[in-house]
């Protein structure tokens, strides 16, 4: 019970710090790839502080409630994960949070925001099969959905679930809103949709959205590390290296890919999921 409480407290306090640093590192590396110096690694924290200090103008009272619900569900998801709870339940709560974000964009009168909400729904449709199959892969590899049981396995799950891992890393590009799958909202200001679901978010609401992204990033990287962690303490070091490698890969993909249409994203996501995770699933079922 003690380690569960420590995990929750550490996530609540450290996730915004780690998420913000990863975001700052992302912007710095992206700038270097583009031949620029780039902002300070601490720039994301300055941006959020500035947003909280701006005048708060409410577009629709319901939007604030929905954004707060979105943030709370993401935080709750991470707390359950780092407390060693059921991984399947964690992803169900995460999906619920995604619907709150979609509704937050729908309640405004902005056509850009509404279009972003529609694309957010398509993104959910694209990555959900891979997310669910990832949970199935962990169960077949370890015999449990509980994170606390998975990290106590004698062998890392990655050895039995390479296909599930490949599918999950692929849909991370969608979850992290990276090009070529940044359809509903983009981190770059020159896209044709302005800012999609965040078009009508300003001041506090936009700052809360940014904080939620940091919490979600830490959770998603935690799932990546879960593939490599076992009862051997040294596996945690391997997991950290894997997380850094995957995060760098996402930055590389973001800076070398052009945005695709929604139907292309859907076909690619489902195609990779069915081929990689599906093949891995069949092999595991036969082996059992």
pLDDT, one tens digit per residue, over 125-171 is 999 999 999 999 999 999 899 999 999 999 999 999 999 999 999 99
Residues 114, 108 contacting (CB under 8 angstroms): yes
The mean of the pLDDT values for the chain is 88
- Distance, in Å, from the CA atom of 158 to the CA atom of 234, rounded to the nearest integer, reads 15
In this structure, which long-range contacts are made by residues 59-66, counting pairs with CB atoms below 8 Å and at least 24 apart in sequence? 59/108, 59/200, 59/202, 60/107, 60/108, 60/200, 62/104, 62/107, 63/104, 63/107, 63/108, 63/200, 63/201, 63/205, 64/204, 64/205, 66/100, 66/101, 66/103, 66/104, 66/107
pTM over 0.95: no
CB 12 within 8 A of CB 79: yes
How far, CA to CA in Å, does 2 sit from each of 9, 13, 174? Answer: 11, 17, 35
Tens-place pLDDT, residues 161-206: 999 999 999 999 999 988 888 887 766 555 555 677 877 777 788 8
Percent of the chain with pLDDT over 70: 95
| pLDDT (tens digit per residue) in 33-59 | 988 888 889 999 998 888 888 777 766
Is 67's pLDDT higher than 80? yes
Rounded to the nearest 5 percent, the helix, strand and coil shares of the chain are 75, 0, 25
Q: What angle do CA 240, 230, 129 make, to 5 degrees?
A: 75
> Mean of the pLDDT values across residues 216-228?
95
- Which of 189, 15, 22, 208 has its CA nearest to residue 100? 208
Residues 85-106: tens digit of each pLDDT: 999 999 999 998 888 988 888 8
pLDDT of residue 102: 87
């Amino acid at each position: 019970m003690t380690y569960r409480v420590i995990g929750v407290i550490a996530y609540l306090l450290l996730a915004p710090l780690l998420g913000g640093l990863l975001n700052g590192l992302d912007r710095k590396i992206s700038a270097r790839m583009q031949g620029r110096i780039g902002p300070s690694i601490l720039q994301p924290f300055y941006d959020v502080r500035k947003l909280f200090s701006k005048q708060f103008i409410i577009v629709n009272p319901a939007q604030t409630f929905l954004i707060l619900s979105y943030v709370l569900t993401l935080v709750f998801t991470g707390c359950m994960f780092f407390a060693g709870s059921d991984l399947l339940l964690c992803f169900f709560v995460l999906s619920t949070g995604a619907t709150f974000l979609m509704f937050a964009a729908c309640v405004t009168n902005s056509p850009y925001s509404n279009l972003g909400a529609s694309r957010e729904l398509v993104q959910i449709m694209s990555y959900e099969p891979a997310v669910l199959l990832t949970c199935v892969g962990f169960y077949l590899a370890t015999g449990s959905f509980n994170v606390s049981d998975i990290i106590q396995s004698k062998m890392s799950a990655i050895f039995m679930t390479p296909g599930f891992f490949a599918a999950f890393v692929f849909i991370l590009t969608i979850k992290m809103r990276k090009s070529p799958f940044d359809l509903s909202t983009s981190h770059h200001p020159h896209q044709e949709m302005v800012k999609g679901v965040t078009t009508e978010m300003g001041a506090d609401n936009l700052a809360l959205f940014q904080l939620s992204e940091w919490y979600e990033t830490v959770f998603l990287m935690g799932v990546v590390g879960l593939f490599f962690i076992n009862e051997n303490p040294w596996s945690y070091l391997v997991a950290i290296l894997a997380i850094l490698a995957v995060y760098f890969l996402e930055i590389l993909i973001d800076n070398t890919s052009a945005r695709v249409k929604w139907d292309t994203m859907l076909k690619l996501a489902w195609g990779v999921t069915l081929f990689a995770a599906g093949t891995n699933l069949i092999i595991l079922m036969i082996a059992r």
